[in-house]
């Protein structure tokens, strides 16, 4: 009781604040999402994501080595697929010589210690921009799962440490686990996008991969039939628990800052690590505000990352990973 207990005694200066700080950040808390393009010596900045680039494999490998030297130990990779390779089956997704498979092999050859988690979803490969195969005007759950298994096994064959299904099909974690085990990849893990909401924060990401749903009156105009309703909380816990039961080694909540209540709920419910995706729209908002002088870029960046960790994240997938790691190294 006052005046015996004065909270300000533990806030007197930075030294005492650091001694009693409950949450800390390090570069190993981060995973860096990377966009990969065809060609050589290609580096194209994404207009809605300043400082983030689509890189060819050769430059991706150099960037991965820099990330590893900074203490970052995981990358989540996505590919920009040529239009002529897109169809409604997604078959390019399991081409053993496809861009994703080449990228995985190159990264693991150059930096064996980096944990590579390729994205498992069909939207980059789909002529419709959806995460699965379109049948009868909607995304076909079970047919899509069949395709995802082929995709995941091809990633494992290329050397992926984990596969990261972001599609939100029902039952896909179990199907992936069974498929990987049957192919002899029982040690390849699954980081499941368990609570992935149908969010407007993904806009810049879809610019990066040209993967937004196409405007076609015969198919869904958005992804709300498989991604979660952002009004729901209990559903997120149910999805995470289901994925763990099906064999997920990690679960993810996406987006990040606007969903920290869900992060804590999921953390309290599961007994596996929880990953949080600090998504492209959240990144772009900070960049835009900082460019206008409205916010202090580095302070806001670190505050948001710390808050995600405080909420219960074991790993944060963030486009700020490199910038934050450099700042932490200082």
Q: Please work out, in degrees rounded to the nearest 5, the angle formed at the alpha carbon of residue 272 by the alpha carbons of 266 and 278.
A: 55
Reported as a single tens digit per residue, the pLDDT across 121-147 is: 999 999 999 999 999 999 999 999 999
pLDDT of residue 110: 98
* Active-site residue flag, 254: yes
pLDDT tens by residue, 68-90: 999 999 999 999 999 999 999 99
Which phi and psi (to 5°) does residue 165 adopt?
Answer: -70, 120
Is residue 14 part of an annotated ligand binding site? no
How far apart CA 229 and CA 109 sit, in angstroms, is 40
Averaged pLDDT for residues 221-235: 95
* pLDDT one-digit tens code per residue, 145-199: 999 999 999 999 999 999 999 999 999 999 999 999 999 999 999 999 999 999 9
**Tokens for 285?**
């908002």
Q: Sketch out the chain's domains with CATH numbers.
A: 24-329 (3.20.20.70)
How many angstroms separate the CA atoms of 144 and 134, rounded? 9
Per the annotation, the verdict on 223 as an active-site residue is: no
Closest C-alpha among 127, 66, 134 to residue 92: 127
Among 54-68, 215-229, 254-268, the least confident range: 215-229
Question: Over 80: is that where the pLDDT of 217 sits?
Answer: no
- Name the catalytic one among 108, 254, 267, 322: 254
Active-site residue identified among 80, 86, 108, 196: 196
């Amino acid at each position: 009781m006052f005046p015996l207990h004065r909270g300000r005694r533990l806030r007197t200066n930075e030294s005492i604040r650091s001694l009693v700080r409950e949450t800390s950040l390090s570069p190993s808390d981060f995973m860096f999402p990377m966009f990969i393009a065809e060609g050589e010596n290609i580096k194209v900045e994404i207009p809605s994501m300043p400082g983030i680039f689509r890189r060819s494999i050769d430059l991706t490998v150099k960037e991965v080595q820099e990330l590893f030297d900074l203490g970052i130990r995981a990358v989540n990779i996505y590919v920009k697929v040529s239009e002529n390779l897109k169809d409604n089956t997604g078959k390019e997704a399991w081409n053993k010589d496809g861009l994703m498979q080449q990228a995985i092999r190159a990264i693991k050859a150059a930096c064996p210690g980096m944990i590579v988690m390729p994205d498992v979803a069909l939207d980059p490969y789909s002529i419709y921009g959806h995460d699965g195969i379109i049948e009868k005007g909607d995304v076909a759950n079970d047919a899509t799962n069949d395709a995802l298994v082929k995709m995941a096994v091809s990633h494992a064959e290329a050397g992926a440490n984990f596969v990261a299904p972001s599609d939100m099909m029902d039952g896909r974690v179990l199907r992936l686990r069974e498929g990987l085990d049957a192919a002899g990849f029982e040690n390849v893990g699954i980081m499941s996008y368990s609570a992935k909401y149908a969010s407007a924060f993904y806009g810049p990401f879809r610019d990066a991969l040209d993967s937004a749903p196409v405007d076609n009156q015969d198919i869904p105009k958005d992804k709300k039939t498989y991604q979660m309703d952002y009004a729901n909380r209990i559903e997120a816990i149910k999805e995470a628990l289901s994925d763990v039961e099906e064999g997920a080694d990690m679960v993810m909540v996406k987006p990040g800052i606007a969903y920290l209540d869900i992060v804590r709920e999921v953390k309290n419910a599961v007994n596996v690590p929880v990953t949080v995706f600090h998504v492209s729209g959240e990144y772009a908002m900070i960049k835009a505000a900082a460019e206008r002088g409205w916010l202090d870029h580095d302070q806001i960046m670190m505050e948001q990352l710390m808050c995600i960790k405080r909420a219960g994240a074991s790993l944060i997938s963030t486009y700020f990973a490199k910038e934050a790691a450099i700042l932490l190294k200082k």
